[in-house]
């Protein structure tokens, strides 16, 4: 071990020197493969936009501290046009090309359509601790395709109807820059929607999306069309929100859906509200959560549905009972009763017939036996008369 100590020390020294030796534009530092840049401090127009040519190594991973307008009011872009020349095939295959926008002290940002100009090589984008005052139409258009997009903490306020237009989220398995694990995931994690609902059409443009999380987003109401056009989605997580019901039809056309997480929900229990119990069972969807009724003490959603709703659903309003997950209607019960009575009568009649035949057979045997004996007596009598003669 002692013999290898100098080599190990040399390795870490060279690694440390390499990290500190890399340079970048004003406000940027390089540590462990990540450029950490403070865009909010670039008050001089000469320092903006971030100049690609001033990065000493390929800026594959950037964390950008931001506040206010993006880009600065009057600027054409946040990043210089040189970023558009990055060759994705030369990037490190062990990690995705990433961009993190982070706000200190819950700063507010006002995003404009040029925010991501020239950044089409990026695969993962995260927005952290920001109060997003405005997301304009097509604000993510320049990113073209992402493997992962996340809003983490903060607030999402004014969202245009076409905010996500012309940008897709999907597993980038065909990208020139191949990464070890593709996600195809969008998430809002403890970033609250100011309107307490998912903005209309928010997810409409992502037909290849496979995973979505809307966790702790302060959602009071979900609409049945929330996932209308995400037909390839497999995983949904809507935990830690304030809604009490899932709207009927919310999972329609999601033929690939296999897992839904809904932890920490105050469920309202009724036969109408708990439609998803039967739907999940029928469509082989695994649902995870607490599933306790807030309006029925001591009852779980599943128990309430099985005890109160299953018969009404299976019998579709007709009089009957549920037996082995099938509806046995009154008519069916009467028919079954009549059939049962007929079967009993048939069995009794069959038994009587068998008994009568057995008795008749026994009487015939006794008569035959008596006749045989009489015949023997007659034969003896005849023989005696013959001898006397």
Quick: pLDDT tens for 331-354: 666 777 788 888 888 888 888 888
Please return the burial class of 20, using the count of CB atoms within 10 Å of its CB with bins 0-12, 13-18 and 19+: exposed
Q: What span, in angstroms and rounded, lies between the C-alpha atoms of 301 and 241?
A: 17
Residue 373 has pLDDT above 90, yes or no: no
Average pLDDT over residues 157-173: 92
The model's confidence at residue 170, banded by pLDDT at 50, 70 and 90, is very high
Query: What are the tens digits of pLDDT across the range 56-100?
Result: 999 999 999 999 999 999 999 999 999 999 998 889 989 999 999
Residue 196 has pLDDT above 70, yes or no: yes
pLDDT at 389: 57
pLDDT at 385: 66
High-pLDDT (> 90) share of the chain, %: 67
For residue 354, how many other CB atoms are within 10 A of its CB? Answer: 10
Residue 168 parent element (H or E): strand 168-169
Q: What span, in angstroms and rounded, lies between the C-alpha atoms of 19 and 350?
A: 98
pLDDT at 312: 58
Per the model's pLDDT, the better-predicted residue between 383 and 287 turns out to be 287
Average pLDDT over residues 195-204: 93
The model's confidence at residue 159, banded by pLDDT at 50, 70 and 90, is very high
Average pLDDT over residues 129-154: 96
Per the model's pLDDT, the better-predicted residue between 157 and 366 turns out to be 157
Cis ω before 35 (30° cut-off from 0): no
Residue 315 has pLDDT above 80, yes or no: no
How, if at all, do strands 326-329 and 320-323 pair? antiparallel
Cis ω before 337 (30° cut-off from 0): no
φ, ψ at 64 (rounded to 5°): -120, 115
Query: What are the tens digits of pLDDT across the range 292-311?
Result: 999 999 999 999 998 888 76
High-pLDDT (> 70) share of the chain, %: 82
Residue 242's nearest CA partner among 216, 260, 269, 276 is 216
């Amino acid at each position: 071990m002692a013999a290898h100590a100098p080599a190990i020390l040399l390795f870490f020294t060279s690694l440390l020197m390499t990290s500190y030796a890399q340079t970048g534009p004003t406000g940027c530092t390089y540590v462990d493969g990540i450029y950490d840049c403070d865009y909010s401090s670039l008050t001089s127009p000469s320092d903006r936009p971030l100049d690609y040519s001033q990065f000493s190594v390929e800026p594959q991973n950037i964390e950008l501290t931001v506040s206010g307008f993006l880009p600065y009011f009057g600027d054409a872009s946040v990043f210089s046009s040189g970023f558009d020349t990055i060759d994705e095939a030369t990037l490190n295959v062990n990690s995705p090309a990433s961009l993190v926008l982070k706000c200190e002290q819950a700063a507010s940002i006002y995003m404009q359509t040029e925010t991501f100009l020239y950044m089409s090589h990026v695969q993962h984008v995260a927005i952290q601790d920001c109060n997003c005052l405005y997301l304009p139409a097509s604000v993510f258009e320049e990113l073209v395709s992402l493997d992962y997009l996340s809003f983490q903490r903060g607030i999402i306020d004014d969202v245009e109807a076409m905010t996500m237009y012309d940008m897709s989220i999907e597993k980038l398995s065909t990208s020139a820059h191949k990464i070890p694990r593709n996600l195809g995931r969008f998430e809002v994690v403890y970033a609250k929607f100011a309107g307490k609902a998912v903005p209309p059409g928010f997810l409409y443009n992502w037909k290849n999306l496979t995973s979505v999380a809307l966790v702790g987003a302060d959602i009071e109401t979900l609409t049945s069309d929330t996932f209308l056009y995400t037909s390839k989605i497999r995983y949904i997580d809507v935990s830690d929100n304030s809604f009490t019901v899932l709207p009927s039809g919310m999972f329609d056309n999601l033929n690939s859906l296999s897992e839904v997480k809904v932890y920490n929900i105050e469920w309202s229990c009724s036969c109408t509200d708990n439609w998803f119990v039967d739907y999940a069972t029928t469509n082989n969807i695994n649902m995870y959560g607490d599933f306790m009724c807030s309006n029925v003490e001591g009852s779980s959603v599943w128990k309430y549905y099985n005890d109160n709703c299953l018969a009404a659903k299976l019998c579709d309003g007709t009089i009957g009972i549920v037996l082995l997950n099938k509806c046995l209607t009154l008519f069916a019960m009467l028919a079954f009763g009549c059939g049962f009575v007929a079967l009993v009568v048939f069995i009794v009649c069959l038994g009587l017939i068998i008994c009568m035949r057995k008795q008749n057979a026994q009487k015939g045997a006794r008569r035959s036996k008596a006749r045989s004996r009489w015949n023997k007596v007659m034969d003896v009598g005849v023989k005696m008369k013959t001898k006397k003669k």
